[in-house]
């Protein structure tokens, strides 16, 4: 008999022996199990009694006090970042699982867990080749639905691993100041062998500010700045353009981004989806795996990342 998946009634939500349990009140690990707490949508949740502060608690594996099951939430986050709108996701849950939620809840889950996971993965050290391809693109936001003249999203991709190692979101036009901040973010993640950009006039100056070969710490490294003028070479920066194509497809589905405070979060979610969730079509592997980050996330990668970020496990 085939067991049907029900993301609403999740009876084994806390069945994970490899995760550490800490008291949510005093962070102590001196506890004892004290039965279960029954919930409508999350099934039975293990209860604990802290022997240090003498208080009851349930473990925080990333879904503490959430009313919906972890699988339903992670499914919504995954599908939303994979090109399904919040309203369509709401409709899917109603049609397939007879579960009513607001489309606003889907957006809240996406923002909440993108920020949580982003904070965790930002501490990881991917093993990058150092051949960095960097570029910027226009992102429509608010009433500006045109592909040109919107906000600017700066992005750098490692050539071999396809891992996006640095991003920067700016609600302004391209400038030396923003290009310099972008270069600093690249340097904070990897000391590159070279950085290839297009012929934007701001890139050489920004590169010199951050990787000035006259400085002692860079004088023997011979970090190169390669300028690819597409108008002359007729060769596009294929791998970064592929990333931008994926990002713009998703932004088009958003019908442009809305609020300035939310836009960087949603783009960070798309980057997480690229690096840690979806296998690359050419390599058949996750960019994070090619970069040496073999995280034990399981099949539900968003669920695994959220649990790792909650428990601080690497």
The number of helices, as runs of H, and strands, as runs of E, in the chain is 11, 8
**At 275, is the pLDDT very low, low, confident or very high (cuts 50, 70, 90)?**
very high
Q: What CA–CA distance (Å, rounded) separates 289 from 106?
A: 28
**At 285, is the pLDDT very low, low, confident or very high (cuts 50, 70, 90)?**
very high
Length of the chain: 314
- pLDDT at position 117 over 60: yes
CATH of 131-265+279-287, one of 3.40.470.10, 3.40.50.300, 3.30.420.10, 2.40.50.100: 3.30.420.10
Query: Which pLDDT score, from 0 to 100, does residue 17 have?
Result: 41
CB 77 within 8 A of CB 277: no
Query: Which pLDDT score, from 0 to 100, does residue 15 have?
Result: 45
* Number of neighbours of residue 51 by Cβ within 10 angstroms: 12
139: helix, strand or coil: strand
The pLDDT tens digits for 118-143 are: 999 999 999 999 999 999 999 888 77
CA-nearest of 108, 54, 46, 99 to 77 is: 108
What pTM did the predictor assign? 0.85
Answer with the residue of higher pLDDT: 199 or 9.
199
How far lies 275's CA from each of 179, 219, 237, 243, 305, in Å?
23, 32, 19, 11, 12
Percent of the chain with pLDDT over 70: 88
CA-nearest of 239, 235, 238, 313 to 274 is: 239
DSSP code at position 274: I
Mean pLDDT for the stretch of residues 206-233: 78
């Amino acid at each position: 008999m085939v067991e049907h998946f029900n993301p609403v009634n999740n009876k084994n939500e806390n069945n994970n022996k490899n995760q550490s349990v800490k008291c949510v009140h005093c962070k102590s690990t001196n506890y004892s199990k004290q039965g279960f707490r029954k919930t409508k949508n999350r099934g039975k949740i293990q209860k604990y009694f802290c022997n240090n502060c003498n208080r009851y608690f349930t473990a925080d594996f990333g879904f503490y006090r959430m009313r919906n099951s972890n699988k339903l939430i992670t499914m919504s986050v995954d599908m939303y970042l994979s090109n399904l709108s919040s309203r369509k996701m709401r409709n899917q849950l109603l049609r397939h699982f007879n579960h009513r939620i607001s489309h606003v809840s889907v957006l809240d889950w996406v923002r909440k867990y993108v920020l949580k996971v982003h904070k965790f993965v930002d501490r990881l050290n991917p093993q990058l080749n150092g051949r960095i391809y960097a570029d910027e693109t226009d992102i429509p936001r608010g009433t500006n639905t045109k592909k040109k003249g919107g906000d600017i999203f700066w992005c750098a991709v490692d050539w071999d691993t396809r891992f996006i190692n640095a991003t920067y979101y700016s609600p302004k036009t391209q400038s030396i100041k923003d290009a310099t901040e972008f270069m600093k973010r690249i340097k904070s993640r990897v000391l590159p062998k070279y950085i290839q950009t297009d012929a934007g006039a701001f890139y050489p100056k920004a590169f010199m500010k951050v990787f000035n070969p006259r400085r002692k710490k860079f004088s023997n490294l011979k970090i190169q700045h390669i300028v690819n003028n597409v108008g002359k070479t007729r060769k596009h920066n294929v791998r970064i353009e592929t990333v931008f194509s994926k990002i713009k497809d998703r932004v088009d589905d958003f019908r442009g981004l809305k609020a300035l405070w939310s836009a960087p979060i949603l783009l960070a979610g798309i980057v997480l989806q690229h690096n840690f969730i979806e296998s690359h079509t050419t390599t058949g592997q996750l960019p994070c795996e090619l970069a040496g980050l073999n995280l034990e996330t399981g099949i539900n990668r968003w669920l695994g990342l959220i649990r790792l970020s909650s428990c601080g496990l690497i």
